[in-house]
Structure formats: structure tokens, C-alpha cells
Amino acid sequence: MNKAIFLDRDGVINKDLSYVYKKEDLFLLDNVIEGLKELKAQGYFLIVISNQSGVARGFFKEEDVRSFHEEIQHRLIENNCSVDAFYYCPHYVKGVVEKYSIECNCRKPKTGLVEKAQKDFDLDLGECVVVGDKVSDMELAKNIGCMGIQIQGNYPLSTDYPVKKDLLEVSEYVKEITTFRIKS
Ligand SMILES: [Mg+2]
Ligand SMILES: [Zn+2]
């Protein structure tokens, strides 16, 4: 079985400009490349798990989400780095686009997307880590039963999970605790 880092997208990889979908609004956050490389070197799959309710809200289309993800991957590849997969939830129960305005099982902190990734990558969820900038990301970690790490951004902080400033700090922390686990 394998292990993965479940990465939130907005506020973890790229700047959270609120319902961002245009390529010109893609700004990678500090130390993203370095952090992803370090996590990869530790043997993790890098899997983006993202709520994109802007689709249900009628702000943009699924094609926009996918081309934004292609652009992220492109920028990473330019820096000799990449993520292994992008999973997103386009739903929102109070949306305006009928097709997407449902109570789904994949909007975080629900676990539908993680369960899909678990099958696709044969993951041992107990060895996985959720990284996000919202308390709801930490709720996802709790619902999966894995470790959670919150990145400090524009949102209230959880009191139950460690807080780090960027993905490089996250990678250092993950290394530290997994080394400790092996020793003990
Ligand atoms: Mg976020
Ligand atoms: Zn969904």
C-alpha cells in the first residue's frame, strides 16, 4: 500500500483569490515547489483534493477548473516537480446550476474524493496527511482518521492541529514526526 499527501488547492498551492479560475490569477505560494519536492522525496503521492463550488454557483465551468489544474501542473513541471492527481468537487447544495446543486458525498469535509483517490492509488489512509488552510480541511482529516496540518492563511485556525506557514515547513514537520514514529 501507498501513502499520500492530500493537498487542498487554494491557499495551499496557489494564492486564494476567492473562486480563482483564470490562468492570469494563478500565483504559486512561497516554497510550494520546494515543499512538494521534499514530500515527494519522502515517498508520498501528491494528490490535490479541492472544493470548487464556483461551478455550482455559476461562476465558472468544469472546463475552467480542469484548465486551471493543467496550468498548475505546467508551472510545476517547469520547476521539475509535479502532482500525481487532481480531484475536485463541483457541487454546492445551494448553487444555481441545477446539475451541480446537490447534496453530494464529495464536498469536503465529506470523504468521497479521498475514497476515490484511496482506490486509484491503493492508499493506506492511516499513513496519509491532509494539508489545508481551513478548519473544514482539518475536519476532513478527522473524518478520514489521518493526520492534519493547517497552513496559516486567511482563515480561522484549528486548535487541534499543528499550524505551519507553508508547504516547506509542512514537509519538514512530516519528516520529523514520521522519523519519530519509526524510532519509537
Ligand atoms: Mg483552501
Ligand atoms: Zn461533490
Domains in the chain: ranges and CATH:
4-183 (3.40.50.1000)
pLDDT in tens, 87-115: 999 999 999 999 999 999 999 999 999 99
Catalytic site residue 8?
yes
Instruction: Give the global pTM.
Output: 0.96
* Ligand nearest to the CA of residue 9, numbered in listed order: 1
Catalytic site residue 10?
yes
Reply yes or no on whether the pLDDT at 69 is more than 80: yes
Question: Of residues 8, 16, 133, 137, which has the active-site annotation?
Answer: 8
pLDDT for 178 equals 87
Q: Which three cell numbers stand for residue 82?
A: 509535479
CA–CA separation, 49 and 122 (whole Å): 16
Return the percentage of the chain with pLDDT > 70, whole number.
Answer: 98
Short-list 12, 33, 44, CA closest to 149 = 12
Contacts of 113 (CB under 8 A, 6+ apart): 49, 87, 88, 89, 106
CA–CA separation, 45 and 119 (whole Å): 13
Q: Which three cell numbers stand for residue 83?
A: 502532482
Q: How many angstroms is it from 60 CA to the middle of ligand 2? A: 15
What is the average per-residue pLDDT within 7-36?
Answer: 97
